[in-house]
Amino acid sequence: MNERARILDGRSIMVVEDDYLVALALSTVLEEAGARVVGPIASAQEAVALLEAGREKVDAAVLDVDLNGEKSYPVADALASRDIRFVFATGYGIDALAEDYRHYPRCQKPFDHRAILNALKA
C-alpha cells in the first residue's frame, strides 16, 4: 500500500471540474485514497442543484475555479453555508481568485496528490 492509501476512507468528495481528463485523474486519486467520488460535475449550476437537493452526502469538495468561463463561487458559497470543507483548484496564482475567496484552501494544478489529499482530510 502506498502512503496515501485510504486517507479518505469512507468520505464522499464532490469533484467540480470541467476538464474531463483532469476530473478522471483526480477521481482516480480520490478513489484510491478510499473516497467515494460525487461527480465529476462540470458546471456550477449543476453542483449547486445537487447540494440543494440534499440527496448526496458530501463531506468535502474540490472546485475548479474556472468552469468553462463561469466561476465556481456559487458552489463555494453553497458548501460554506453547509460547513462543508472545500479546496479550490487552479492553474493560476492566488490572483485568479476573487479577493473574498482567497482565504479558502487552494491547490495548484497540476495537482500534487499528497497536498490535495491532505487538504481534504482535515
Task: Please give the tally of structural domains in the chain.
Answer: 1
What is the predicted pLDDT for the residue at 12? 96
Q: Is residue 1 part of a domain?
A: no
Q: Tell how strand 70-71 and strand 66-67 pair up.
A: antiparallel
What is the predicted pLDDT for the residue at 1? 41
Q: Is the Cβ–Cβ distance between 46 and 31 less than 8 Å? A: no
State yes or no: pLDDT of 4 exceeds 70: no
Tell me the per-residue pLDDT of 62-76, one tens digit each, with 9 for 90 and over: 999 999 989 999 999
The CATH number linked to 32 is 3.40.50.2300
pLDDT grade for 94, boundaries at 50, 70 and 90: confident
On the question of a cis peptide bond just before residue 74, with omega within 30 degrees of 0, the verdict is: no
What is the predicted pLDDT for the residue at 108? 83
Mean pLDDT of 30-58: 95
When the pLDDT of each residue in the chain is averaged and rounded to a whole number, the result is 90
Q: Is residue 7 part of a domain?
A: no
Its domain, for residue 42, covers 12-121
Query: What span, in angstroms and rounded, lies between the C-alpha atoms of 74 and 49?
Result: 11
Q: Is residue 4 part of a domain?
A: no
Which residue bears the cell 482565504?
103
What is the predicted pLDDT for the residue at 90? 83
Beta strands in the chain (DSSP E): 12-16, 36-41, 60-64, 66-67, 70-71, 85-90, 106-108
Q: Is residue 60 part of a domain?
A: yes
Within its chain, how far is the Cα of 4 from the centroid? 17
Q: Is residue 46 part of a domain?
A: yes
Q: What are the angstrom distances between the C-alpha of 36 and each of 29, 40, 87? A: 11, 11, 17
What is the predicted pLDDT for the residue at 7? 86
